[in-house]
Structure 1
Amino acid sequence: MILSDPSVVPRLCHLKRSEGQSFGFHLCKYSQAFEITDLDPWSPAEHSGLKDGDRVLEVNEEYVVNMDFNRVARKIQSCGLHLFLLVLKREEYEWAVSIGVDLKFLAEATKGDHWSRPRLCHIQKHPKHGLGMTVVSVDGQKNQYMVRTVIDGPAEKAGIFNGDRLIWINGLMVSTLRYSAVIKTLKKRGDSVTVLVIDSDSESCYIRRKMPIMPVVAQSCSLPHSAKTMNLVKGSDGYGFLLRQEKLACTQQKVHVLREVDMGSPAEGAGMEDGDLLLAVNGEPIESMEHEDIVRKIRQSGDKVSLTAISIPGRDFYRELGISPLLFHEDCSHRCINNWEEAPLRKQDRKEADSGFHSGYVPELPETVRIQSSDSSQSHHQTWC
């Protein structure tokens, strides 16, 4: 296998969208290749430098070649307002494959020898030792800070290393804060704090690539309030729960809440609790959908459905951080489909959906999905499992 070829040069595209706006492209899978098609004019995709026919190597710093189509699509759906794609031109990709270039090595080579992903770490304060870290200014660099950790302290146990650069505290970029403001922010966070950190060598790699360091490209370290995926099989009395649309008292935002979980029901057996907030149905985010659309989606699942939910405190936690609870919910859609081993997706099921995510590649037809927000006014573009 050839490790690289100087004529094959991946490029990084940063897509930035507004709330309710789509990224503006289709994602198709042909054989093992993810291809960008049908870019919308003036869209975030076009502004990022994406071109029709580009082949995707990485999504948010994660290598996706040979990955299941559903998993890749869900990673894009849950990334929020920022999306990073490492791509090759179609002709470069085809040439690289034809001569046996190692595409994973090629993607990694764009980052440098000492690259690693940033870490999103949640630190629980110790009654005596506090956070187990101190923050110091980097000499000669305005509003740049590093962390000094205590051996076996809360910070170190949370995944922070001595000398890490501090990037972000509970949703605030520290590059916008004076040192006094950083310390004040850490102190007022109560008994815990969530920070984004990276080692100095990796930070240099990001700077060289002109790529911002953000939670969307990070690996998570022991974040609390994780979402849960529940696989339900309908019983004689149904699933045994009620779906209600409610408003959160603090924000008046509409949410979809799981209520009245029957004892001994499939819902209770799957781990559903009264008050859980519904995030996804069969791996597809539903937070911006209307109640009727969600009910229809559940009914269309037949006798089996996969629901992803989180507690209200968990939703509040991620909302404060400014990220989706689904961002680090590993392989949500991958599990929701592949756990039904006794009921694989049939070809006729594929034909029943206008556009959808599928469980595998169908040689005679490319898999296609519209990558865009889940705005209810554009429900004809919603994605389906």
Structure 2
Amino acid sequence: MGKNHAMTSSRGLVGDVGLTEKFTFNPKEGIDNPVMVITDDADSVWTPIPRMCVLKREDEEIYGFHLRVERGHQGHIIRNVVSGGVAERSGLRDGDRLLEVNNCYIDDVPHTEVARKIKMSGHQICLLVLDGEDYEQVASRGLDLKSLARAHMDENCKPPRLCHITRDPDSGLGINFTPLEGQRGRFTVSLVAGGAAEKAGVCKGDRLVWINGAVVSNLTHSALNKMMKKCGDHITILVIDSESEKRYMQRRLPILPSMAIPHKLPHRARKLHLISAAEGFGFLLRLEKVPSGRTYHILREMTGGSRAERAGMRDGELLLEVNGESVESLKHEEVVDRVRLSGQEVYLTTITPQGLEFYTQLGLSPLLFCEDDAADKEKENIVPASAEENSPAKEMDVSSNLRLCSLQKGTLISQVGFKEVASEDSGQSAGLAVGDIVMKVNGQNVEEKSQEDVTVLVEEEGQFLSLLVTDETSYKKLTETETPTKDVTHTEEEENEISAL
């Protein structure tokens, strides 16, 4: 593709020159002749052009592609683009390399973080990609990918702002919206000087993009006024300055909350960094059903003076992530395994129940805007030398070789407790290696099960599997010591599962 692109560009360039200037060779001019320079060096000035793909899906749709990191290849690779799906219709092609997600450069970002950004973007996302062959050529020539990616952006184009406005007792919300003449669904902002909206980060002349989860391009001025009257003491709006809006429209790009800078949001998810002491992290993880009927992993009973308390953990908060991985679809035992297998330290992302409700009502992921408490608490969480000396070093060394691998079905169990992984199999990209011993399948211990029982279990567990594995040497050490994977304290009380961590 890259070669074809270069050839097409060269032919087009020569053709244009031929139409505007007839060339007769003059030996006195030699290689300084400008036409000769253009035609002979066309390949040397080859510059690949990234593509912006805007994907928009409905509630029950999927984007229809996989994002992979492959051995022997650089970059985040687009694979398995579904024929006729959202991704293909938006211009994504198999082998493309992903450079940006919602105007954020990600080529040098860890794969799990990139996948996280895509998942929390909601129903619409902007992906900047480069053709696979072009990407390989850029990498081989040592060109700057980041500069290439940013070249398509206007430096004067500012990001949108997500502003939460709380009514002032005297001046109210301090904001009004005026429709742009002859342009349905477009509104400009006027403010009360020093009022609530201005304090929340809204600027005079801003364009309104979105209000309380509703895109205003679909609203009449009358409908917008009705929304304002019903909003009560708070509204959350997405705004952008008029010049930047113009530039987005020229490039036919959506203005999304996932691109925004937050202002005065009442709730934010928090990232906590916990370092284990000899007695553990010092909190309980419970699986609880909330009044809405949904079930969540909830943090409870922080022990006084424990690592959890010192990290800022609060009773009743909901657990969203363990080490950057969402726990929403995981079983209780799988979440516990992820915490335990982190070893002496773990990163948790949490939010209050009120915070989750706030983002749910807006139709946004609570992970979009996180406060990083981990950095603030780092010094407090340093493990003293005495604690390190008293900790069971041998057990920690062994547990560090335990791995949780998530994958789709496709690999085959060849003998009890072992996993054979083909060179191109999905198991290898998930972290499995030939000869690994499988200890748990989706949280269920299989060490004592026969090959037939494990095979049946795998077939019954759906399309996706979470495998707890270790290498043969570490497994022998585990059987000789007190195995941390079997030391999971949990009971069941009226559908609740509780684990001490």
TM-score by length of 1: 0.81
The alignment status of 1:311 with 2:352, answered yes or no, reads yes
Following TM superposition, by how much is the alpha carbon of 1:119 offset from its aligned partner in structure 2, in angstroms? 1.3
Identify the range of structure 1 (11-20 vs 315-324) with the bigger mean alpha-carbon deviation: 11-20
Alignment of 1:53-202 (within 5 A): 53-98=95-140, 101-112=143-154, 114-202=156-244
Instruction: Specify the SS of the correspondent of 1:187.
Output: helix
The 3 A distance-change label for structure 1 pair 32 and 60 is farther
Q: Is the 8 A contact 1:282 1:333 kept in 2?
A: no
The alignment status of 1:380 with 2:471, answered yes or no, reads no
Alpha-carbon distance in 1 for matches of 2:111, 2:359: 26
The 3 A distance-change label for structure 1 pair 340 and 85 is farther
Alpha-carbon distance in 2 for matches of 1:336, 1:74: 24
Instruction: Write the deviation string for residues 314-369 of structure 1: whole angstroms up to 9, x where unpaired.
Output: 111111111111012278999999x99999xx9x958834359xxxxxxxxxx957
Instruction: Specify the SS of the correspondent of 1:327.
Output: coil
Following TM superposition, by how much is the alpha carbon of 1:166 offset from its aligned partner in structure 2, in angstroms? 0.4
Number of aligned pairs?
364
Alpha-carbon distance in 2 for matches of 1:209, 1:331: 34
- Show the counterpart of 2:247: 205
Following TM superposition, by how much is the alpha carbon of 1:276 offset from its aligned partner in structure 2, in angstroms? 0.4
Instruction: Specify the SS of the correspondent of 2:309.
Output: helix
Runs of at least 5 residues in structure 2 that lack an aligned partner in the other structure = 1-43, 389-396, 408-427, 432-460, 468-501
- Show the counterpart of 1:354: 405
Alpha-carbon distance in 1 for matches of 2:128, 2:372: 20
Alpha-carbon distance in 2 for matches of 1:30, 1:139: 56
- Structure with more helix by fraction: 2
Alpha-carbon distance in 2 for matches of 1:242, 1:350: 25
Following TM superposition, by how much is the alpha carbon of 1:147 offset from its aligned partner in structure 2, in angstroms? 0.5
Instruction: Specify the SS of the correspondent of 2:288.
Output: strand
- Show the counterpart of 2:258: 216
Residue 167 of structure 2 aligns with an amino acid whose one-letter code is K
The 3 A distance-change label for structure 1 pair 22 and 45 is closer
Q: Is the 8 A contact 2:298 2:316 kept in 1?
A: yes
Which of 244, 253, 272 aligns to 2:294? It is 253
Following TM superposition, by how much is the alpha carbon of 1:239 offset from its aligned partner in structure 2, in angstroms? 2.2
Alpha-carbon distance in 1 for matches of 2:203, 2:406: 45
- Show the counterpart of 2:20: none
Identify the range of structure 1 (221-230 vs 4-13) with the bigger mean alpha-carbon deviation: 4-13
- Show the counterpart of 2:282: 240
Q: Is the 8 A contact 2:188 2:207 kept in 1?
A: yes
Instruction: Specify the SS of the correspondent of 2:93.
Output: coil
Alignment of 1:321-332 (within 5 A): 321-329=362-370
Q: Is the 8 A contact 2:311 2:374 kept in 1?
A: no
- Show the counterpart of 1:362: none
- Show the counterpart of 1:283: 324
Following TM superposition, by how much is the alpha carbon of 1:75 offset from its aligned partner in structure 2, in angstroms? 1.8
- Show the counterpart of 1:301: 342
Runs of at least 5 residues in structure 1 that lack an aligned partner in the other structure = 357-366, 371-375
Alpha-carbon distance in 2 for matches of 1:122, 1:165: 15
Alpha-carbon distance in 1 for matches of 2:406, 2:226: 49
Following TM superposition, by how much is the alpha carbon of 1:224 offset from its aligned partner in structure 2, in angstroms? 2.0
- Show the counterpart of 1:15: 55
Q: Which runs of 4+ in 1 moved over 4 A?
A: 4-7, 17-23, 29-33, 97-102, 330-337, 339-343, 348-351, 367-370, 376-379
Residue 241 of structure 2 aligns with an amino acid whose one-letter code is D
Residue 49 of structure 2 aligns with an amino acid whose one-letter code is V
State percent identity of aligned pairs: 43
Q: Is the 8 A contact 1:78 1:285 kept in 2?
A: no
Following TM superposition, by how much is the alpha carbon of 1:196 offset from its aligned partner in structure 2, in angstroms? 0.5
Alpha-carbon distance in 2 for matches of 1:96, 1:116: 28
The 3 A distance-change label for structure 1 pair 349 and 302 is closer
Q: Is the 8 A contact 2:275 2:345 kept in 1?
A: yes
The 3 A distance-change label for structure 1 pair 70 and 38 is closer
- Show the counterpart of 1:373: none
TM-score by length of 2: 0.63
Superposed CA RMSD: 3.8
Alpha-carbon distance in 1 for matches of 2:373, 2:93: 29
The 3 A distance-change label for structure 1 pair 19 and 331 is farther
Following TM superposition, by how much is the alpha carbon of 1:246 offset from its aligned partner in structure 2, in angstroms? 2.0
Alpha-carbon distance in 2 for matches of 1:65, 1:15: 19
Instruction: Write the deviation string for residues 30-66 of structure 1: whole angstroms up to 9, x where unpaired.
Output: 8995231432434543343222321222111112233
The 3 A distance-change label for structure 1 pair 296 and 21 is farther
Alpha-carbon distance in 1 for matches of 2:223, 2:333: 46
Instruction: Specify the SS of the correspondent of 1:67.
Output: coil
Identify the range of structure 1 (37-46 vs 258-267) with the bigger mean alpha-carbon deviation: 37-46
Q: Is the 8 A contact 1:280 1:308 kept in 2?
A: yes
Alpha-carbon distance in 1 for matches of 2:193, 2:128: 37
The 3 A distance-change label for structure 1 pair 47 and 5 is farther
Q: Is the 8 A contact 1:71 1:333 kept in 2?
A: no
Alpha-carbon distance in 2 for matches of 1:80, 1:216: 8
Instruction: Specify the SS of the correspondent of 2:75.
Output: strand
Alpha-carbon distance in 2 for matches of 1:310, 1:237: 25
